Structure 1
Amino acid sequence: MKLLITGADGQLGRELTKQYNEIKDVELILTGISELDITDMEAVYEFVNNHKPEVIINCAAHTAVDKCEIDVDMAYKINTIGPKNLATAAYAIGAEIVQVSTDYVFDGERDIELTEFDEVNPKTVYGKTKLEGERVVSKLNPKHYIVRTAWLYGDGNNFVKTMIKLSETNKTLKVVNDQKGTPTSTVDLARVIISLVKNKNYGLFHCTCKGECTWYDLTKEIFKIKGIDTKVIPCTTDEFPRPAKRPEYSVLRNYMLELTTGDITRTWQEALKDYLENKES
């Protein structure tokens, strides 16, 4: 099987590459922005037609949530037009496409676990552009897998590493305690994506680790596992105003996985412990 992974140098791209390299009879085509600009329609068509992958996994995205509020055009180009180009190019050669999406497609204002059947209502440019990316992919290529995730960490820059780094120079840290979500390991997300593709389980899926916590809870757990004695102080979102509104409650339930091939994700605590003990120095 030949697979094209865009955004291969990002956290998820690296983990997918690692896991797919352990599977026999898989040929990977790895691209970053220097190899393939997904916003360039002609370049995408030419690249896909030349390499003819059977599956395209789009990990490329404009994930700087606050910058999306400022540069709206670029956000739409990367998060909507890019997936459109990939989906149509894939369709032209009969290939499948995986589009990675986000909890930001919801408003985060309801204190309930969100399933794939709940109404979307993005409040940010990032969320709106990612939702439109979902829509164009689903409309333009029937062989699609749309996978929403949240609070992702893996091999690369992420919240977990940032907190550990800050603890090295701070005796106390203020961390937001009024936003709830689910920290998700790229290991679990990659496993699910690989399983969906293997089983040709097309459609829309949520994929996060199990359980929920706040950023404050997450930081406390990180420091507990690592034996860090920096004091963590809970604070409100209002104390750290940002250009883009953050969802107050964006816990995703992997309902479609439960109903189809089964939910193989771990609890967020188990996945985090594995990451910190085996992936971190």
Structure 2
Amino acid sequence: MTVRHPEKINNIESPIQKKPAWIRVKANYSQDIVETKNILKKNNLITVCEEASCPNINECWSKKHATFMIMGDTCTRACAFCNVKTGIPNVLDLQEPKKIAQSVKDLNLLHVVITSVDRDDLADGGAKHFADVISEIKKINTNTTVEVLTPDFLRKGDVYKIVVDAKPDVFNHNLETIPRLYLRVRPGSRYFQSLDLLRKVKDYNSSIFTKSGLMVGLGETKEEIMQVMDDLRVAGVDFLTIGQYLQPSTKHYPIKNFITPEEFENYKLIAEGKGFLLVSSSPLTRSSYHASEDFEILKSKRINKLI
């Protein structure tokens, strides 16, 4: 049997808690799901939907929506919550931008989300590859909007400008959790680096929508989540997503508690009161879940705000 996370072999095993009724997803197998899978397979592309074991995969793929994960399936970091494998990545596929652009066309996507593994081995952290993907998508999909979910580009200087200059419509970088839990949950990352990246992107191009996401159920307090909301607003972030953390295996960070739908709704009301243009907060919310619909709402809210 293949071990997906060799770096977690010595972790203390934590039993996976039974999911409450409000977070269970019904199986859904349709011809559209098969067609989506075939299009991705034809171009040998990777999706975060599969690699991160997203609970919404069937719903999204039934609509022919997929989130592309670029630069391989192997991450240079070992976050305790993530199901993507860790190790030494392969060399970049220089044809990947063209293959993704063609798949976006085949799927007839009006809005596409592009994310990646961390590539600390690359001098620019993969920023130019992100830019190439954005450019190729827009070249043959002139009506498609592009959302990027990037790494933090830790210790890579101002390479984020390479991505922003390619003109994505949304720049997303997830904080994931509260500062207190970073060393355990995101040991290779730094909270204030992630926060500063979002601030710098907004300062560099104020017209771009910025977005960030949080997982809950890791042992954070309500007060700590509210402080992160304040930090994100100071950084000028427009859109916040909040979703329930789901433990991929017994070797991953344990779920501390399941947040109820009522608590998620309360977080949404609090975040809206703090001035976010848009807030998506529910047990199954993920960064790219309903991204196309949310982008249209973002645009309309910005227009209304300017009127």
User: Normalising TM by the smaller chain, what interval?
Assistant: 0.3 to 0.5
TM-score w.r.t. the length of structure 1 is 0.40
Structure with the bigger RCO (C-alpha within 8 Å, sep 6+) is: 1
